[in-house]
Amino acid sequence: MDNTRLFLWLALLAMLWLNYDAWVRDRAPAQTARIPPAAETTLPQDDVPDVPSADAPSSDAPETPSVDAAAPSMPIRVRTDVLDIVIDTQGGDLVRADLLEYPVHKDRPDELVRLLDFTPANRWVFQSGLSTAGNPGGGPNHLADWRAESTSFELAPGQDELVVTLEWVGNGDLDARKVYTFRRGSYQIDLDLVIENHADEPWRGAPYLRMQRLHQPVERSFTSVDSYSYTGPVLYDGNTYEKLDVDDLRNNGLSLTATGGWIAGIQHHFLAAGVPPPDAPFQYQGNYADSRYLLTAIGEPAQVAADMQQVFSFTLFVGPKLQSQLREAADGLVLTVDYGVLTILAQPLFWVLSKIHDFVGNWGWSIIIVTLLIKLAFYKLTETSGRSMAKMRKIAPRMKALQERYKDDRQGLSRAMMELYKKEKINPAAGCLPILVQMPFFFAFYWVLIESVEMRQAPFMLWINDLSSRDPYFVLPLLMGAAMFLQTRLNPAPPDPVQARVMQIMPIVFTVFFALFPSGLVLYWLTNTLVSIAQQWRINKVVAAQG
């Protein structure tokens, strides 16, 4: 087997795959604009269609999202150590969420990532309520008026939990409350819908949760890692995680019943998810119109007897894709951290990275240490390959002589080379194995660095202040290119002059491509190359000394 030719094909396929995957993977739409938290002070009223019926909803007529009106409403401000939330008393719903520990740009710390947003230009809200059979517009739903004891709530120092209660402004026979529970350091928000029936007759209704978001397409960009990932609606039906296509929602809608599912809107590193109770069946509906998608989870109609109370619970998650918190919030929610087909490698890699980071406190050094561990795990394989390449380098003059002797007889040259390999006990294919082994880890590392919010804006040292974005001065790619050039000098030269020339150009090609990749990925490949150089240099010395 021609090692050089295989290496060239693998390198070409790697570059093509990364470029194709970055440009067309999931046809990602736009990120919504981020607005500093000091902006709007009034909330527009939502001009929405009727609330979901408490009876079984129609599967062929999913509800359609609508355009906002601009009537003001009374906002309620809730602030924890990680979230700055606005609740609208018109509906009692979450309509804005700023992430206090996540600036949009590292050099602008006051401009925070905003997920939920009530403004028409960036519409993204959660709505919830209880739908009353026979009177869909007049119950304790997202069209009703709610009130709280204050317009401002804040998690105090030393306080671990903050409870915000809104009461429905309804009739005397029925009391309803929305109870939001926030916890220190957590992006999970518990929502309890409480209904108390004071009438003489049973009350019948269904709990529901819906998410509405503006959706705008965006073009791919090599300069923005945010554009590499999927942005849009997703659904989990208790077994399968699915990215929903907005064109399919527009043309066909969505209607299914599932237990243990959830709905969410995701974007690079962040999401807002609504999780119904995991042990009850809910009907999930979805549609897309007027550049918005609407996802709804509707519970089965429940009956509350006279003078009785019932609580319907939901879980909301509004924040970064922190894998530990996602696992605690709901089954399957960690799937929103999308490592693709290499999840089986990427998840263990991230686990090892995070454990090492807990010890060293720096993601850059964690990447270097994990790279060393990978090289150590495959040391024997690499050593076998290195010995084969060292022997190939040693017999290079004899190979050159055979080329001169059989320069007009390619079949004769092939037979002579195979005899030489057999005599010297050299396996040319052995040099391919480390490349085949390393490529899956390379791609897995790529997606760990792209998708893991823990890497977002993570500093390393000196000028590298964000391992998830490219090196601003291209120093690491240049160092990597130089290391790859040195590595080619340690390996046997290809017998074909054209291939030898291509091998000399390959470090330049890799340097250009890697200049666009996250600096953490370049750091991994640079470390891997330097260790490979040291190992091959030592093997060459040992083989040369053996005579």
The rounded distance, in Å, linking the Cα atoms of 299 and 247 is 26
- Summarize pLDDT for 427-447 with one digit per residue, the tens: 666 556 666 777 787 788 888
Claim to verify: residue 390 and residue 322 sit in the same structural domain: no
Q: What is the pLDDT of residue 22?
A: 47
The answer as to whether 453 is a domain residue is yes
Q: What pLDDT shows up at residue 13?
A: 54
Residues 426 and 402 in one domain: yes
Of 296, 313, 338, the position where a domain reaches its end is 338
Three-state SS for 255?
strand
Q: Which two tokens stand for residue 433?
A: 């194995």
Residues 456 and 518 in one domain: yes
User: Tokens in use for 333?
Assistant: 């929610």
Q: Is residue 176 part of a domain?
A: yes
* Contact predicate 294/63, CB 8 Å: yes
Q: Is residue 60 part of a domain?
A: no
Residue with token string 């919504």 = 32
CB 20 within 8 A of CB 257: no
Q: Give residue 46's pLDDT.
A: 40
- Which residues span the domain enclosing 356? 3-22+347-545
Q: How many helices (H) and strands (E) does the chain have?
A: 12, 20
> Are residues 305 and 379 both part of a single domain?
no
Last residue within a domain, chosen from 311, 338, 365: 338
Give the pLDDT score at 387: 65
Residue 62 lies in a domain: no
Show pLDDT as tens, one digit a residue, over the chain (547 residues). Answer: 344 444 444 555 555 555 545 444 444 433 333 333 333 333 333 433 445 554 544 433 345 444 444 333 678 999 999 999 999 998 999 999 999 999 988 888 889 999 999 988 889 999 999 887 655 456 888 888 899 999 999 999 999 999 999 998 777 788 899 999 999 999 999 999 999 888 888 888 899 999 999 987 666 555 555 556 788 899 999 899 999 988 889 999 999 999 999 999 998 899 999 999 999 999 999 999 888 999 999 999 988 888 888 999 999 999 999 999 999 999 999 999 988 788 888 989 999 999 999 999 999 999 999 988 888 887 777 666 666 666 666 666 777 777 777 767 777 777 777 777 777 666 666 556 666 777 787 788 888 888 889 888 888 988 998 888 888 899 999 998 898 888 777 666 555 566 667 667 778 888 888 888 888 889 988 998 898 888 777 776 766 666 5
The pLDDT assigned to 98 comes to 95
Identify the DSSP state of 364.
H
Same domain, 463 and 380: yes
Cα→Cα distances 442→155, 349, 503, 507, Å: 43, 11, 20, 17
55 Cβ contact list (under 8 Å, min separation 6): 133, 206, 301
- Position 264 in a domain: yes
Q: For residue 162, what is the enclosing H or E element?
A: strand 161-168
- Final residue belonging to a domain, choices 291, 314, 338: 338
Q: What span, in angstroms and rounded, lies between the C-alpha atoms of 465 and 460?
A: 6
Same domain, 289 and 438: no
At 466 the pLDDT is 87
Q: Please report, for the domain that includes residue 227, its CATH number.
A: 2.70.98.90
Q: Which residues contact 508 (CB under 8 A, 6 or more apart)?
A: 481
Chain-centroid distance of CA 131 in Å reads: 34
What's the CA gap between 474 and 517, in Å, rounded? Answer: 10
367 in the same domain as 270: no
Return left, alpha or beta for 534; rule: phi > 0 is left, psi -120 to 50 is alpha, else beta: alpha
Tokens coding 75? 């906002």
- Provide the number of structural domains found in the chain: 2
Global pTM reads 0.79
Residues 405 and 429 in one domain: yes
**Separation of alpha carbons 402 and 422, rounded Å:** 15
Per-residue confidence (pLDDT) for residue 321, from 0 to 100? 95
CA pair distance 70, 43, nearest whole angstrom: 8
Residue 160 has a pLDDT of: 94
The pLDDT value recorded for residue 325 is: 95
* Shared-domain flag, residues 327 and 381: no
Q: What does the alpha-carbon distance between residue 148 and residue 467 come to, in Å, rounded to a whole number? A: 44
Neighbouring residues of 544: CB distance < 8 A, sequence distance ≥ 6: 390, 394
295, part of any domain = yes
pLDDT tens-digit map of 302-335 = 888 888 889 999 999 999 999 999 999 999 999 9
358 in a structural domain: yes
Distance CA 200, CA 393 (A): 94
User: Rounded CA gap, 511 and 513, in Å?
Assistant: 6
Same domain, yes or no: 417 and 449 = yes
Both 357 and 296 in one domain: the answer is no
94 and 125 share a domain?
yes
Q: What is the pLDDT of residue 51?
A: 54
| Cα of 75 vs its chain's centroid, Å | 31
Per-residue confidence (pLDDT) for residue 224, from 0 to 100: 54
Backbone angles phi, psi at 289, to 5 degrees: -160, 155
Contact 76, 87 (CB under 8 A): yes
Would you state the pLDDT for residue 225?
Answer: 54
> Which residues on neighbouring strands pair with residue 265, listed in sequence order?
233, 272
Q: Please check whether residue 61 lies inside any domain of the structure.
A: no
